[in-house]
Structure 1
Amino acid sequence: MVFYPLFNAFFLMIKKCRSRYHDDGMEMFVAMKPSSTAQTSIPSQEEGLPGSRRVWAVLSVSLAVVLSVLDGTLANVALPTIAHSLNASAQTSVWVVNGYQLAIIATLLPMAALGEFISYRKVFSAGVVVFTLSSLGCAMADSMSGLIAARVIQGVGAAAVMCCTSALLRHTYPAKTFGRGLARNAFVVTASSAAGPSICAAVLSVAPWEWLFVINFPIGILALVCARALPMTPRQPRKFDLQAIVLNALGMSLGVIGLNQLNESPALALTLILSAALCLWRLVKRCLGDESPLLPLDLFKIPRFRWAIAASFCMFAAQMCAFVALPFYMQHSLGRTIVQTGLLMTAWPVGSSLANLGLSSFVDRVQAGSLCATGAGLQIIGLILIVALPHGTRDLWLLCGLFLAGVGFGFFQSPNSRDMLSAPPRSRSGAAGGMQAAARVNGQAWGAALAGLCFSLSASEGDDLALSASIGFSLIALLLNLRRRRLFQTAPLAD
């Protein structure tokens, strides 16, 4: 049990810290545990949380983000190992990933609505608990069906975390540094994504695949302990429409399943997509006359929010389309090995991480449309550089193209998130965060499906077609950002 000393040290540390807190009144734990007055008071938008308490609140959010991002990456990389260990086919094992993603897509908006009703901190904390316990369920699963069921539950916990993250950060940071906080959070996301394959390889080299899920437990416990410092947000009176929740789950899930079936069964895919469209149409119609709709149609009346959602969908679709196509392009067209491909592709998330880290110092002072347009343009240049390279190109030029595309995506991500989440009133932060996550997940699903469609149209030129489609999505995002740069140069944000 190679990880036993780590767990032993972790729990000894917690025990020691708790003892010191009760005996000595350590300042850091006092900061983590708000007083009864602080629990009921809502931090103002201008001030946010006090400095010491803010540190622990941000740490809780960051740890939960690391959990959700790393888990998706680790499961993808370890899928062949898991399938072999559980004697499952590759087609069946894919549902370890699909079940997790579908659970997130189906429950994002209901969890966001629940956060507005009972407070984001409670939903976030419950999500961390569900995610952590279901991770142990994944580790103890002795069959593929049991693992898939645990992954679905894990996806529900991840959805609760994702939809509340942005709202909690908006109540944690002062208004003048909210963009900086989002940039730092984006850095955590991209850094975790970049480190995922290496962590997976390191764990599998010394332990069985079950430990990929066991390592979530101490991280989840620490995130839950730090969650005591998170702000208590005001509750919004609302009713829960069960029919709207079912329509949302069916519409989102059937659409993604249909997109994934485009290559294998076009007729079934078309049926599923049409069924999803019908469910979503019924959902929109049902929400139009509702004072507290599950689908936040009221937010789409805010132009700044509407444009940011559209640009986000296009950029995430472009990124995922490129991520699906690049391994095939580099191995088949450029003759790189699997190991070389993995190392080269790391340049993209590294570029995004560094861009987000650099943006944190001035993202709140520069107009979002300008930064987002710059990011989309850099991503286009990077992708064109990759596609235009001849077969004998040295790895350095490939790294430059991938790094530049990653920097472009990082330049887009943080300013766009700030624009999107600052435009609605603070009382609708949860709904805005839910739509932000929904735009990201659906953009990724459409990008992956479009890449698959390109490969089905041409087995030999599919990677080139998919990269061209990625450039096309990036170009649409560039045009959207240039347009909103002109529209919102002086438009104020919502209070």
Structure 2
Amino acid sequence: MSPRSRRAWVLALTSIASLMVSLDTLIVTVALSTIRTDLGATLEELEWTVNAYNLSLAVLLMTGSALGDRFGRRRMFATGLVVFTIASAACALAPGVGWLIAARIAQGAGAALLMPLALAILSAAYPPERRGQALGIFMGVTGLSVVGGPVLGGAITEGVSWEWIFWLNVPLGLLVLPFVLTRIDESHGTDTGLDFPGLALATTAAFGLVWGLVRGNSAGWGSAEVVTALLLGAVLLAAFVAWERRAREPMLPLGFFRSRAFSAGNAAGFLLIASLFGTLFLIAQFLQTGLGHTPLEAGLRLVPWTGCLMVVAPIAGALVDRFGERPFLVGGLVLQAAGFGWLALVAEPGVSYAQLVPPLIVSGIGISMAIPATQNSVVSSVPAHMIGKGAGANSMLRELGGVFGIAVLVAVFAGWGGYGSPREFTDGFVAALAGAVVLALAGAAAGLLLPARPAAGRTPDAEDAPVPVATR
């Protein structure tokens, strides 16, 4: 097989894996109202249905990357596909919300092998001057999940049952697995250590912080439970940083953050995804609870927003190679903030759909411009032999951004609104959109710190170069 054909297979298979992982983040959003009714779930339980997956995925990403470096990226990528497929079946069989949340944790563990290794395998397969275009196509295919997820989720939830949104992964996983084993070359990274203390500290720190944010409105922000959870999470986060500074083979090499491209790209990506996921969690419910649409109608009405990723991201990815990341990252996040702010101004019970379309398109274009720029900034700023860890760090921080965004914006929603009436839901939704605007603008500010130079063929210079590892 020619190198060109091999790269095409790598792009196709890694994109499908990303599609599956992203689909299960997004397809469930339109089904949340139905799951709330069928399983008697509270707002907090709905939040954990989404965040259990995202949190498990986030905290295990770097371990997934390290396992790929040590045991083989193709082998562990295939293992992740098997775990994800089995866990999807467990979600579909859930008799109650507790089972569903537990199965979502297992799904996240499988996704934690798929996502960083997909990005590492793809990034290593393409030379720097063509990587941005490949990442743009990769995100465009992933965009199918953004476009199709809400629509497919709505159609399945309304036409069959919500359980089938998870059954969908089973035949897809079984179909892709043989090609992963035969069309992707095996590869290893140079860093083969497993940082179990770092994993434990990162997991417990993230869990403590998210638990405090999720429980804040119901238990009280000044309650012993919430204060203890937040303080414990902060202390464990500081302990994680201290450990990573002295570990022989750290889970997250802190020297990476000496690169402005790496640090600013990850900070902007964290805030971009926080704003996006927090809004996505609520907007499908707004269309149903606030405006009275069915799940399928809600999914279809999100297409002008979600469809932008599939169309704009490949174009933006190619332009990033030519003009550099900063204009697309900053400009995209400003457009994202403008779209969400516009949406907050027009959102009210009974608002016509025509009034929602322009702000949805504006924010969708902005998000689609920014995402390829953040990813290219990060993977282009680390040495080639450490792309696996760089990609894993980027994926971990983006997923933690999603968990953070959902926790924060749902806390804002619960403080200002609720499910009592369309007006009450809309009041909370508008307040949450204001929070999403703040997050997006903070991401744009971080993006201003990116080096102003083209990405193609970039090699870190003395000022911008990361230090691979810290030693004892």
How would you bin the TM-score normalised by the shorter chain?
Answer: 0.7 to 0.9
Partner of 1:245: 199
1:121 pairs, out of 63, 68, 74, with: 74
Contact map agreement 2:74 2:186 (CA 8 A) in 1: yes
Q: Rg: which structure is higher?
A: 1
Contact map agreement 1:315 1:474 (CA 8 A) in 2: yes
- Rounded to whole Å, the distance in 2 between the matches of 1:344 and 1:252 is 34
* 1:200 to partner: Cα distance: 2.3
Distance 1:379 1:148, change over 3 A: closer
1:185 pairs, out of 125, 138, 156, with: 138
1:301-450 to 2 correspondence within 5 Å?
A: 301-324=258-281, 326=283, 336-339=291-294, 342-389=299-346, 395-450=353-408
| Match status 1:259 vs 2:259 | no
1:189-268 to 2 correspondence within 5 Å?
A: 189-205=142-158, 207-227=160-180, 228-265=182-219, 266=221, 267=223, 268=225
- Rounded to whole Å, the distance in 2 between the matches of 1:75 and 1:324 is 9
Contact map agreement 1:106 1:253 (CA 8 A) in 2: no
Contact map agreement 1:304 1:488 (CA 8 A) in 2: no
Partner of 2:467: none
Distance 1:139 1:329, change over 3 A: closer
Q: What code does the residue aligned with 1:240 have?
A: L
Find the residue that maps to 1:372 and give its secondary structure.
helix
Q: Which runs of 5+ in 1 are unaligned?
A: 1-30, 32-48
String of CA shifts for 1:122-155, please: whole Å, max 9, x gaps.
Answer: 2211101111122233344555554443332221
Query: Greater CA deviation, 254-263 or 96-105?
Result: 96-105
The root-mean-square deviation of aligned C-alpha atoms, in Å, is 3.0
* 1:262 to partner: Cα distance: 1.8
- Percentage identity across aligned positions? 27
Q: What code does the residue aligned with 1:301 have?
A: R
Partner of 1:484: 450
Q: What code does the residue aligned with 2:167 have?
A: V
Distance 1:112 1:467, change over 3 A: same
2:125 pairs, out of 160, 169, 172, with: 172
* 1:118 to partner: Cα distance: 2.2
| Match status 1:468 vs 2:434 | yes
Find the residue that maps to 2:321 and give its secondary structure.
coil
Partner of 2:90: 137
| Match status 1:159 vs 2:116 | no
Q: What code does the residue aligned with 1:165 have?
A: A
2:253 pairs, out of 293, 296, 302, with: 296
1:12-27 to 2 correspondence within 5 Å?
A: none
Q: What code does the residue aligned with 1:427 have?
A: H
* 1:342 to partner: Cα distance: 4.6
2:242 pairs, out of 282, 285, 296, with: 285
- Rounded to whole Å, the distance in 2 between the matches of 1:382 and 1:232 is 43
Distance 1:441 1:115, change over 3 A: same
- Rounded to whole Å, the distance in 2 between the matches of 1:157 and 1:272 is 27
* 1:182 to partner: Cα distance: 0.9
* 1:108 to partner: Cα distance: 1.5
Q: What code does the residue aligned with 2:64 have?
A: M
Contact map agreement 1:351 1:403 (CA 8 A) in 2: yes
- Rounded to whole Å, the distance in 2 between the matches of 1:493 and 1:183 is 20
- Rounded to whole Å, the distance in 2 between the matches of 1:98 and 1:230 is 31
- Rounded to whole Å, the distance in 2 between the matches of 1:80 and 1:325 is 10
Residue correspondences, number: 445
- Rounded to whole Å, the distance in 1 between the matches of 2:18 and 2:136 is 13
- Rounded to whole Å, the distance in 2 between the matches of 1:117 and 1:411 is 34
Distance 1:486 1:360, change over 3 A: closer
Q: What code does the residue aligned with 1:439 have?
A: L
Distance 1:226 1:285, change over 3 A: same
String of CA shifts for 1:421-442, please: whole Å, max 9, x gaps.
Answer: 1110122212112221222122
2:17 pairs, out of 47, 64, 70, with: 64
String of CA shifts for 1:330-370, please: whole Å, max 9, x gaps.
Answer: 789xx743346554433221122221132244331111101
Q: What code does the residue aligned with 2:27 have?
A: L
Find the residue that maps to 2:323 and give its secondary structure.
coil
* 1:209 to partner: Cα distance: 4.1
- Rounded to whole Å, the distance in 2 between the matches of 1:161 and 1:478 is 29
| Match status 1:454 vs 2:412 | yes
String of CA shifts for 1:140-174, please: whole Å, max 9, x gaps.
Answer: 45555544433322211011111212111111223
Distance 1:97 1:480, change over 3 A: closer
Contact map agreement 2:33 2:285 (CA 8 A) in 1: no
Distance 1:288 1:347, change over 3 A: same
Partner of 1:3: none
String of CA shifts for 1:460-488, please: whole Å, max 9, x gaps.
Answer: 65433322222222222222223425488
Find the residue that maps to 2:216 and give its secondary structure.
coil
TM norm structure 1: 0.81
Contact map agreement 2:286 2:429 (CA 8 A) in 1: yes
String of CA shifts for 1:276-305, please: whole Å, max 9, x gaps.
Answer: 111121111112122310122121122210
Q: What code does the residue aligned with 2:433 have?
A: L
Contact map agreement 2:153 2:299 (CA 8 A) in 1: no
Q: Which has the higher contact order (CA 8 A, sep 6+)?
A: 2
Contact map agreement 1:131 1:153 (CA 8 A) in 2: yes
Q: What code does the residue aligned with 2:432 have?
A: A
Contact map agreement 1:370 1:485 (CA 8 A) in 2: no
Distance 1:285 1:220, change over 3 A: same
Contact map agreement 1:356 1:411 (CA 8 A) in 2: yes
Find the residue that maps to 1:236 and give its secondary structure.
coil
TM norm structure 2: 0.85
Q: Which runs of 5+ in 2 are unaligned?
A: 418-423, 462-472
Partner of 2:470: none
Distance 1:468 1:197, change over 3 A: closer
Contact map agreement 1:138 1:147 (CA 8 A) in 2: yes
* 1:272 to partner: Cα distance: 1.1
